[in-house]
Amino acid sequence: MEIRTIGVVGAGQMGNGIAHVMALAGYDVKLTDISADALTSAMDIMRKNMERQVSREKISGDEMETALARIRTTTTLTDLGPSNLIIEAATERETVKQAIFEDLLPHLATDTILTSNTSSISITRLASRTDRPEKFMGFHFMNPVPVMQLVELIRGIATDEPTFNACKAVVDRLGKTSSSAEDFPGFIVNRILMPMINEAVYTLYEGVGNVQSIDGAMRLGANHPMGPLELADFIGLDTCLAIMNVLHDGLADTKYRPCPLLTKYVEAGWLGRKTGRGFYDYRGESPVPTR
């Protein structure tokens, strides 16, 4: 099927990024969130991010205005029902995602494809709670969406080939690269990335190095653009912990046990950049290590 209209559930960092790239690629986008303020903020963020692209001559001013005009916002989830493709980008909690799909089901068009931007939750399990497991798959964008080139496409056990091909065609139209992943905990990127971050937290927890030395070592010694603890703060420590728990529960291997220090930071509400404190304190002019 040809995808022309796209619904995006969740106006947070991932949701507004997805809406941004879809609109620039020529899709009509409907963005929903339970918070009207979040939707207003998302539109402001998208405009600022597109203005940055204009200043770098990635897009023209006319392209920006046309793309923004393609995006409609609503606080009513069911308004997304007639969309050809729906991408759920809500918080990384399975119960929340299941509730969203259950609310959407009675309002969907017959051929609507359902997808989730989940970074680790079972696609097969999410799909089994819908009336169209064959038209359900994982559509995992990397953060920040307008910049990162990879999209993981994850088939559930029931996902059919036309659904996969339709989603791959969307990725191609975005000018991004798709990577096909099997439906196992963490898929590809987070199966590799999150244990590295978790091991960096263990290295801090055990006193092998402090925040600055660990991040500096990986930037200069492994040529990573961002140290693992800085990256964890950027992703959100709550998200990192949730993914580690999915890996630990789903694969039943002690090597995926979340570091107690990561759990402690999340318990403190120090979730990284979004809360002003994580492995770094962001409340001053420049980030300061917290350990």
**Which residues are the active-site residues?**
119, 140, 152, 190
* Residues in the chain, overall count: 291
In angstroms, the CA 20 to CA 40 distance is: 14
- Distance CA(212)–CA(210), nearest Å, equals 6
Residue 206: CB atoms within 10 Å: 10
In the structure encoding, which two tokens stand for residue 176, read together? 């991004």
Q: Using CA atoms, how far apart are residues 33 and 12, in angstroms rounded to an integer?
A: 9
234: three-class secondary structure by DSSP: helix
Torsion angle of the four alpha carbons 2, 159, 120, 91, in this order, in degrees rounded to the nearest 10:
50
With the CA atoms of 43, 48, 51 and 55 taken in that order, what torsion angle do they form, in degrees rounded to the nearest 10?
-170
CA nearest neighbour of 94 among 57, 119, 77: 119
Nearest C-alpha neighbor of 42 from the set 7, 78, 83, 14: 14
Cis peptide before 144 (omega within 30 of 0): yes
What stretches of the chain show up as alpha helix (H) in DSSP?
13-24, 36-55, 61-69, 94-104, 123-128, 161-174, 189-205, 211-221, 228-235, 237-251, 260-268
d(CA 162, CA 164): 5
Residues 259, 284 contacting (CB under 8 angstroms) = no
Contact 36, 161 (CB under 8 A): no
